[in-house]
């Protein structure tokens, strides 16, 4: 029963707001024709209602009843925010505080993302930041593993036989089958960037491979409890990407910088406007 009464009271309040909004608009229309309502002095404008309709997926040309309902919602939200400020909820509740900060940041980023960018600006950004839009060096590495826990000397002997056979013209993959550990990974891997190769092989084997010229074979490398012969099968040098190849990355990087600049500008404006007193010997923020 109590909740029902509270619901009726809330409905009556919203109805009263909606009924009064037309009268308020009439009293404000002469001095501020775009202002529909003021909540504690803060205006709610026609543009605010239009934006709210867009967020709700409703046409901005919606009939008067729908617009009045949305206006009432905006009034209620403003009153609730005001109440949260009065009770200190925004300052004291960490979840609410984070949500407010996130909403401000998202709004600034969204405004930056909405800025139009023409083709000429994208091409100029690509030309002025060519180093950012470069395809990395790609390498294909072959590797043969030799491991014999009971006889390290036997493993070293197999590595020497494999190196000699490859030097005599035996294909690398065939040498891996004849002399390498049974069941080891395939000798030749895929073309990958250097950073990926380092994650796959570890620093010792990757360094050995990247120090080779294409077609060269390393001396036996001890790593991960075994001996390895490493071959640099193929190497494709890094190269600058054309605008068409890098277009997606260009757009993303330009948008990221715009967002960073917008947030930096907001921070500077807020600090310039705010009354921030710094205690002695405390590092300035």
Q: CA-CA distance, 52 to 69, in Å (whole number)?
A: 11
Lowest mean pLDDT among 6-20, 65-79, 219-233, 257-271: 6-20
Residue extents of the structural domains in the chain = 2-87, 97-133+242-285, 137-237
Report CA-CA distances (Å) from 224 to 64, 145, 152, 220, 268: 74, 10, 13, 13, 52
- Cite the DSSP H helix spans in the chain: 2-28, 46-55, 64-86, 89-92, 94-113, 119-128, 152-167, 172-179, 194-201, 203-210, 243-273
Asked whether residue 60 carries a pLDDT value surpassing 50, the answer given is: yes
Average pLDDT, the chain: 82
Which pLDDT tens digit goes with each residue over 137-178?
Answer: 999 999 999 988 788 899 999 999 999 999 999 998 899 989
Q: Which two tokens stand for residue 188?
A: 């030749």
* Cβ contact 44:35 at 8 Å: yes
Q: For residue 29, what pLDDT band results from cuts at 50, 70 and 90?
A: very low
pLDDT recorded at residue 9 = 36
Handedness of CA 221, 225, 227, 233 (dihedral sign): negative
Q: For residue 195, what pLDDT band results from cuts at 50, 70 and 90?
A: very high
Section 100-108 average pLDDT: 87
Q: CA-CA distance, 222 to 228, in Å (whole number)?
A: 6
pLDDT recorded at residue 277 = 66
Q: CA-CA distance, 279 to 241, in Å (whole number)?
A: 51
Is residue 281 classed as helix, strand or coil in its secondary structure? coil
pLDDT recorded at residue 186 = 59
Q: For residue 87, what pLDDT band results from cuts at 50, 70 and 90?
A: confident
pLDDT recorded at residue 21 = 40
Which pLDDT tens digit goes with each residue over 170-183?
Answer: 998 899 989 998 87
Section 40-67 average pLDDT: 84
Q: CA-CA distance, 9 to 2, in Å (whole number)?
A: 10
Q: For residue 2, what pLDDT band results from cuts at 50, 70 and 90?
A: very low
pLDDT recorded at residue 198 = 93
Q: For the domain with range 137-237, which CATH number is right: 3.90.1150.10, 3.40.50.620, 3.10.50.40, 2.40.160.10? A: 3.10.50.40
pLDDT recorded at residue 8 = 34
Return the residue matching tokens 């709700």: 56
Length of the chain (residues): 285
Handedness of CA 175, 178, 181, 183 (dihedral sign): positive
pLDDT recorded at residue 122 = 94
Is residue 147 classed as helix, strand or coil in its secondary structure? coil
Q: Which two tokens stand for residue 132?
A: 């950012």
Percent of the chain having pLDDT more than 70? 83
């Amino acid at each position: 029963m109590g909740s029902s009464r509270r619901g009726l009271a809330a409905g009556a309040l919203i109805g009263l707001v909606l009924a009064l909004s037309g009268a308020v608009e009439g009293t404000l229309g002469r001095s501020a024709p775009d202002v529909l309502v003021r909540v504690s002095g803060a205006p709610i404008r026609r543009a605010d209602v239009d934006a709210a309709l867009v967020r709700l997926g409703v046409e901005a040309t919606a009939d008067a009843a729908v617009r009045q309902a949305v206006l009432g919602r905006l009034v209620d939200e403003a009153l609730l925010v005001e109440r949260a400020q009065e009770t200190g909820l925004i300052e004291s509740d960490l979840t609410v505080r984070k949500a407010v900060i996130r909403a401000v940041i998202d709004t600034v980023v969204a405004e930056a993302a909405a800025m139009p960018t023409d083709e000429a600006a994208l091409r100029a950004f690509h030309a002025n930041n060519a180093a950012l839009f470069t395809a990395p060096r790609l390498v294909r590495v072959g590797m043969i593993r030799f491991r014999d826990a009971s006889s390290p000397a036997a493993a070293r002997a197999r590595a020497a036989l494999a190196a000699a056979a490859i030097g005599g013209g035996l294909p690398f993959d065939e040498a891996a089958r004849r002399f390498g550990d049974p069941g080891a990974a395939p000798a030749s891997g895929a073309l990958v960037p250097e950073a990926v190769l380092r994650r796959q092989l570890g620093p010792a084997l990757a360094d050995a491979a990247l120090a080779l010229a294409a077609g060269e074979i390393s001396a036996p490398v001890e790593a991960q409890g075994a001996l390895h012969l490493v071959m640099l099968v193929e190497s494709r040098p890094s190269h600058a990407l054309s605008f068409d190849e890098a277009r997606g990355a260009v757009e993303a990087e330009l948008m990221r910088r715009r967002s960073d600049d917008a947030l930096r500008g907001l921070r500077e404006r807020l600090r310039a406007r705010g009354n921030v007193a710094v205690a002695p010997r405390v590092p300035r923020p």
